[in-house]
Structure 1
Amino acid sequence: MSSAGVLILFAIVGVVICARCRVSTGAVVFSLVALVLFVATPAGRGLPDAIASFVSTVDDSATPALTHGAEADG
């Protein structure tokens, strides 16, 4: 897995090149490849859990505010 860093670097360079040439589809594809490669490394293994925890916290915080008006009307 030592070459994952080089692959991520090439993917980021691909994103920059595609963005400068205004090829949005290529930039998105290279971004997704870089993200998948990053999550496959030991440093990025916790990323999906961190995102899930963040979204859960936001959902728990927003639910009372969003349902408060519905309970008062009903």
Structure 2
Amino acid sequence: MSDKFNAFNKAKEEIQNRPHVSTSLPQFKKKENKKQVTIMLEPNQKERGKELADMTGMSFSELIGYLIDNAK
């Protein structure tokens, strides 16, 4: 029985004497919120917008956002 008791005391000492390791939480990027907006376009403008989006490999809304962000 003393072997079990000694093993218990040894384990208890290991837990008490273990080094404290702290980790930092990862930094989270601020999530960008998107909101829905209605834009009134003529049918030919809508078609041309879809064509431009296909040519650039973007969605129509991504293309509009890109154009707004890069407007001078």
* Bigger Rg over Cα: 2
Structure of higher RCO (CA pairs closer than 8 Å, 6+ residues apart): 1
TM-score bracket relative to the smaller structure: under 0.3
- Normalising by the residue count of structure 2, what TM-score does the alignment of the two structures yield? 0.27
Larger helix proportion, structure 1 or 2?
A: 1
